[in-house]
Amino acid sequence: MELILANPTGFCFGVTRAIKELENSLDTFGKVYSIGSPIHNPQEVKRLQDKGLVVVRSAEEIPHGSVVFVRAHGEMPEALKIVRQKALLIIDGTCPFVHNAQEKAKFLVDEGYHLFIVGDPEHPEVKAILGAVSNRGTVINDPGVINSYGSINRCGIISQTTQIKDLLGSVVSGLIPFCNEMRVYNTICKATLERQDAIRELASRVDGLIIIGGKNSANTSQLSKIADQQNIPRLWIEDSEELDPEWFSGKNTIGIAAGASTPDWLINKIKLILEHR
Protein backbone atom coordinates (compact mmCIF):
# COMPACT_ATOMS: atom_id res chain seq x y z
CA MET A 1 0.00 0.00 0.00
CA GLU A 2 1.33 3.42 -1.00
CA LEU A 3 0.93 6.39 1.34
CA ILE A 4 0.90 10.00 0.12
CA LEU A 5 1.00 12.87 2.61
CA ALA A 6 -0.84 16.11 1.78
CA ASN A 7 1.36 19.19 1.46
CA PRO A 8 0.94 21.23 3.57
CA THR A 9 -0.58 19.38 6.49
CA GLY A 10 -0.59 19.65 10.26
CA PHE A 11 0.19 22.69 12.41
CA CYS A 12 -0.32 26.08 10.79
CA PHE A 13 1.66 29.21 11.67
CA GLY A 14 -0.85 30.42 14.27
CA VAL A 15 -1.00 27.10 16.11
CA THR A 16 2.78 26.63 15.97
CA ARG A 17 3.20 30.09 17.49
CA ALA A 18 0.60 29.43 20.21
CA ILE A 19 2.03 26.06 21.21
CA LYS A 20 5.58 27.42 21.35
CA GLU A 21 4.51 30.27 23.63
CA LEU A 22 2.49 27.92 25.82
CA GLU A 23 5.33 25.40 26.16
CA ASN A 24 7.78 28.19 27.04
CA SER A 25 5.35 29.41 29.71
CA LEU A 26 4.94 25.91 31.13
CA ASP A 27 8.72 25.50 31.27
CA THR A 28 9.02 28.82 33.12
CA PHE A 29 6.04 28.74 35.50
CA GLY A 30 5.15 25.04 35.77
CA LYS A 31 1.39 25.66 35.81
CA VAL A 32 -0.57 27.70 33.26
CA TYR A 33 -4.36 28.13 32.99
CA SER A 34 -6.41 28.26 29.80
CA ILE A 35 -10.12 29.03 29.43
CA GLY A 36 -11.14 26.19 27.14
CA SER A 37 -8.71 24.12 25.10
CA PRO A 38 -5.79 26.18 23.74
CA ILE A 39 -6.22 24.39 20.40
CA HIS A 40 -8.77 21.85 19.16
CA ASN A 41 -6.77 18.64 19.34
CA PRO A 42 -7.40 16.38 22.35
CA GLN A 43 -4.14 14.45 22.05
CA GLU A 44 -1.97 17.59 21.96
CA VAL A 45 -3.95 19.17 24.81
CA LYS A 46 -3.41 16.01 26.88
CA ARG A 47 0.36 16.25 26.24
CA LEU A 48 0.32 19.87 27.42
CA GLN A 49 -1.77 19.00 30.48
CA ASP A 50 0.87 16.46 31.43
CA LYS A 51 3.36 19.38 31.40
CA GLY A 52 1.20 21.52 33.70
CA LEU A 53 -1.58 23.06 31.60
CA VAL A 54 -4.88 23.45 33.48
CA VAL A 55 -7.98 23.86 31.29
CA VAL A 56 -10.97 25.54 32.93
CA ARG A 57 -14.44 26.30 31.61
CA SER A 58 -14.74 29.95 32.58
CA ALA A 59 -12.76 32.99 33.72
CA GLU A 60 -14.37 32.71 37.15
CA GLU A 61 -12.44 29.47 37.74
CA ILE A 62 -9.07 31.18 37.29
CA PRO A 63 -7.28 31.47 40.68
CA HIS A 64 -5.85 34.83 41.75
CA GLY A 65 -2.17 35.25 41.00
CA SER A 66 -2.07 32.64 38.23
CA VAL A 67 -0.53 32.64 34.74
CA VAL A 68 -3.20 32.57 32.04
CA PHE A 69 -2.85 31.62 28.38
CA VAL A 70 -5.31 33.07 25.87
CA ARG A 71 -6.05 30.33 23.35
CA ALA A 72 -5.41 30.57 19.61
CA HIS A 73 -9.11 31.18 18.92
CA GLY A 74 -9.13 34.37 20.98
CA GLU A 75 -11.29 35.15 24.00
CA MET A 76 -14.42 37.11 24.85
CA PRO A 77 -13.78 40.66 26.18
CA GLU A 78 -15.91 39.95 29.26
CA ALA A 79 -13.72 36.96 30.15
CA LEU A 80 -10.51 38.92 29.54
CA LYS A 81 -11.72 41.67 31.87
CA ILE A 82 -12.11 39.12 34.69
CA VAL A 83 -8.75 37.53 33.89
CA ARG A 84 -6.96 40.89 34.02
CA GLN A 85 -8.27 41.42 37.54
CA LYS A 86 -7.04 38.02 38.75
CA ALA A 87 -3.99 36.95 36.74
CA LEU A 88 -0.35 37.52 37.58
CA LEU A 89 0.52 37.31 33.89
CA ILE A 90 -1.51 36.93 30.66
CA ILE A 91 0.11 35.31 27.64
CA ASP A 92 -1.82 36.08 24.45
CA GLY A 93 -1.72 33.09 22.10
CA THR A 94 -4.47 34.45 19.82
CA CYS A 95 -3.67 33.69 16.19
CA PRO A 96 -2.69 36.86 14.27
CA PHE A 97 -5.25 35.95 11.60
CA VAL A 98 -7.97 35.85 14.26
CA HIS A 99 -6.80 39.25 15.52
CA ASN A 100 -7.10 40.49 11.93
CA ALA A 101 -10.67 39.22 11.66
CA GLN A 102 -11.54 40.96 14.94
CA GLU A 103 -10.04 44.24 13.71
CA LYS A 104 -11.89 44.02 10.39
CA ALA A 105 -15.14 43.37 12.26
CA LYS A 106 -14.58 46.42 14.48
CA PHE A 107 -13.81 48.59 11.46
CA LEU A 108 -16.98 47.57 9.63
CA VAL A 109 -19.19 48.15 12.66
CA ASP A 110 -17.56 51.52 13.39
CA GLU A 111 -18.14 52.54 9.77
CA GLY A 112 -21.85 51.81 10.07
CA TYR A 113 -22.07 48.49 8.20
CA HIS A 114 -24.36 45.69 9.31
CA LEU A 115 -21.76 43.04 10.11
CA PHE A 116 -22.16 39.48 8.89
CA ILE A 117 -19.73 36.86 10.19
CA VAL A 118 -19.65 33.72 8.05
CA GLY A 119 -18.99 30.86 10.44
CA ASP A 120 -20.20 28.56 13.19
CA PRO A 121 -22.03 30.56 15.90
CA GLU A 122 -20.91 28.05 18.57
CA HIS A 123 -17.21 28.20 17.71
CA PRO A 124 -15.02 30.08 20.24
CA GLU A 125 -13.34 32.10 17.48
CA VAL A 126 -16.68 33.38 16.20
CA LYS A 127 -17.85 34.14 19.74
CA ALA A 128 -14.64 36.11 20.33
CA ILE A 129 -15.10 38.09 17.10
CA LEU A 130 -18.71 38.85 17.98
CA GLY A 131 -17.65 39.83 21.49
CA ALA A 132 -15.04 42.20 20.07
CA VAL A 133 -17.88 44.22 18.49
CA SER A 134 -20.18 44.00 21.54
CA ASN A 135 -22.42 41.48 19.74
CA ARG A 136 -23.28 43.99 17.02
CA GLY A 137 -23.30 41.48 14.20
CA THR A 138 -25.06 38.51 12.63
CA VAL A 139 -23.44 35.08 12.38
CA ILE A 140 -24.45 33.14 9.29
CA ASN A 141 -23.52 29.61 8.21
CA ASP A 142 -26.44 28.88 5.89
CA PRO A 143 -27.06 31.02 2.77
CA GLY A 144 -30.61 29.67 2.77
CA VAL A 145 -31.63 32.04 5.58
CA ILE A 146 -30.56 35.21 3.78
CA ASN A 147 -34.09 35.93 2.51
CA SER A 148 -35.25 36.42 6.09
CA TYR A 149 -33.02 39.48 6.63
CA GLY A 150 -34.80 41.77 4.19
CA SER A 151 -33.26 44.91 2.69
CA ILE A 152 -30.06 46.21 4.34
CA ASN A 153 -28.49 49.52 3.42
CA ARG A 154 -24.83 48.68 4.08
CA CYS A 155 -23.51 45.11 4.45
CA GLY A 156 -20.07 44.29 5.84
CA ILE A 157 -18.90 40.68 5.60
CA ILE A 158 -16.00 38.78 7.14
CA SER A 159 -15.39 35.08 7.71
CA GLN A 160 -14.28 32.72 10.44
CA THR A 161 -10.64 32.07 9.58
CA THR A 162 -11.18 28.31 9.07
CA GLN A 163 -14.22 28.44 6.80
CA ILE A 164 -14.54 27.02 3.28
CA LYS A 165 -14.20 29.78 0.70
CA ASP A 166 -17.21 28.43 -1.22
CA LEU A 167 -19.47 29.23 1.76
CA LEU A 168 -18.11 32.77 1.98
CA GLY A 169 -18.75 33.17 -1.75
CA SER A 170 -22.29 31.81 -1.43
CA VAL A 171 -23.13 34.22 1.38
CA VAL A 172 -21.72 37.19 -0.53
CA SER A 173 -23.65 36.24 -3.68
CA GLY A 174 -26.82 35.67 -1.68
CA LEU A 175 -26.65 39.04 0.08
CA ILE A 176 -25.98 41.12 -3.04
CA PRO A 177 -29.69 41.54 -3.99
CA PHE A 178 -30.51 42.75 -0.46
CA CYS A 179 -27.66 45.22 0.09
CA ASN A 180 -27.37 48.73 -1.33
CA GLU A 181 -23.67 48.78 -0.45
CA MET A 182 -21.36 45.89 0.37
CA ARG A 183 -17.85 45.63 1.76
CA VAL A 184 -16.21 42.20 2.02
CA TYR A 185 -13.00 41.12 3.74
CA ASN A 186 -11.82 37.60 3.02
CA THR A 187 -10.48 36.74 6.47
CA ILE A 188 -10.05 33.02 5.77
CA CYS A 189 -6.38 32.45 6.61
CA LYS A 190 -3.89 31.40 3.96
CA ALA A 191 -2.97 28.22 5.83
CA THR A 192 -6.61 27.10 5.78
CA LEU A 193 -6.93 27.71 2.05
CA GLU A 194 -3.66 25.90 1.34
CA ARG A 195 -4.78 22.81 3.27
CA GLN A 196 -8.15 22.83 1.56
CA ASP A 197 -6.53 23.05 -1.89
CA ALA A 198 -4.06 20.32 -0.93
CA ILE A 199 -6.79 17.84 -0.04
CA ARG A 200 -8.64 18.55 -3.30
CA GLU A 201 -5.45 17.84 -5.25
CA LEU A 202 -4.65 14.74 -3.21
CA ALA A 203 -8.14 13.31 -3.65
CA SER A 204 -7.56 12.96 -7.40
CA ARG A 205 -4.50 10.74 -6.85
CA VAL A 206 -5.58 8.24 -4.20
CA ASP A 207 -8.13 5.50 -3.52
CA GLY A 208 -9.02 6.82 -0.07
CA LEU A 209 -8.21 9.63 2.35
CA ILE A 210 -7.38 9.47 6.04
CA ILE A 211 -7.94 12.78 7.81
CA ILE A 212 -6.28 13.19 11.20
CA GLY A 213 -7.58 15.76 13.64
CA GLY A 214 -9.81 16.57 16.58
CA LYS A 215 -13.54 16.03 16.13
CA ASN A 216 -13.94 19.47 17.72
CA SER A 217 -11.64 21.08 15.14
CA ALA A 218 -13.40 23.39 12.67
CA ASN A 219 -10.62 23.33 10.09
CA THR A 220 -10.41 19.52 10.20
CA SER A 221 -14.18 19.34 9.78
CA GLN A 222 -13.88 21.44 6.63
CA LEU A 223 -11.24 19.08 5.23
CA SER A 224 -13.63 16.19 5.84
CA LYS A 225 -16.43 18.02 4.02
CA ILE A 226 -14.16 18.73 1.05
CA ALA A 227 -13.16 15.05 0.88
CA ASP A 228 -16.84 14.09 0.80
CA GLN A 229 -17.43 16.61 -2.01
CA GLN A 230 -14.71 14.85 -4.02
CA ASN A 231 -16.70 11.59 -3.77
CA ILE A 232 -13.75 9.69 -2.34
CA PRO A 233 -13.80 7.30 0.63
CA ARG A 234 -12.47 9.07 3.69
CA LEU A 235 -11.77 8.09 7.28
CA TRP A 236 -11.64 10.88 9.89
CA ILE A 237 -9.74 9.80 12.99
CA GLU A 238 -8.28 11.44 16.09
CA ASP A 239 -5.79 8.65 16.86
CA SER A 240 -4.60 5.26 15.63
CA GLU A 241 -7.18 3.33 17.69
CA GLU A 242 -9.82 4.46 15.21
CA LEU A 243 -8.13 2.86 12.19
CA ASP A 244 -10.60 0.36 10.72
CA PRO A 245 -8.87 -2.57 8.94
CA GLU A 246 -11.93 -3.20 6.77
CA TRP A 247 -11.83 0.37 5.42
CA PHE A 248 -8.53 -0.38 3.64
CA SER A 249 -9.97 -3.27 1.62
CA GLY A 250 -9.41 -2.75 -2.12
CA LYS A 251 -7.40 0.45 -1.67
CA ASN A 252 -3.85 0.57 -3.02
CA THR A 253 -3.04 4.25 -2.57
CA ILE A 254 -3.98 6.13 0.61
CA GLY A 255 -3.74 9.88 1.15
CA ILE A 256 -3.07 11.34 4.60
CA ALA A 257 -4.16 14.84 5.54
CA ALA A 258 -4.45 16.59 8.88
CA GLY A 259 -6.04 19.69 10.33
CA ALA A 260 -4.07 22.80 11.22
CA SER A 261 -4.23 21.88 14.91
CA THR A 262 -2.91 18.33 14.48
CA PRO A 263 0.67 17.91 15.76
CA ASP A 264 3.45 16.36 13.66
CA TRP A 265 4.15 13.73 16.33
CA LEU A 266 0.62 12.37 15.96
CA ILE A 267 0.71 12.42 12.15
CA ASN A 268 4.06 10.59 12.14
CA LYS A 269 2.80 8.04 14.67
CA ILE A 270 -0.17 7.09 12.50
CA LYS A 271 1.89 7.16 9.30
CA LEU A 272 4.40 4.75 10.88
CA ILE A 273 1.61 2.36 11.90
CA LEU A 274 0.20 2.40 8.36
CA GLU A 275 3.62 1.75 6.85
CA HIS A 276 3.88 -1.46 8.88
CA ARG A 277 0.38 -2.79 8.18
Catalytically active residues, by annotation: 125
Residue 203 near residue 197, CB atoms below 8 Å: no
DSSP line for 68-112: EEE-TT---HHHHHHHHHH-SEEEE---HHHHHHHHHHHHHHHTT
d(CA 11, CA 171): 28
Q: Using CA atoms, how far apart are residues 196 and 101, in angstroms rounded to an integer?
A: 19
Burial class (CB in 10 A: 0-12, 13-18, 19+), 28: exposed
Identify whether the C-beta of residue 4 lies closer than 8 Å to the C-beta of residue 256: yes
Phi and psi angles of residue 88, each rounded to the nearest 5 degrees, phi first: -75, -40
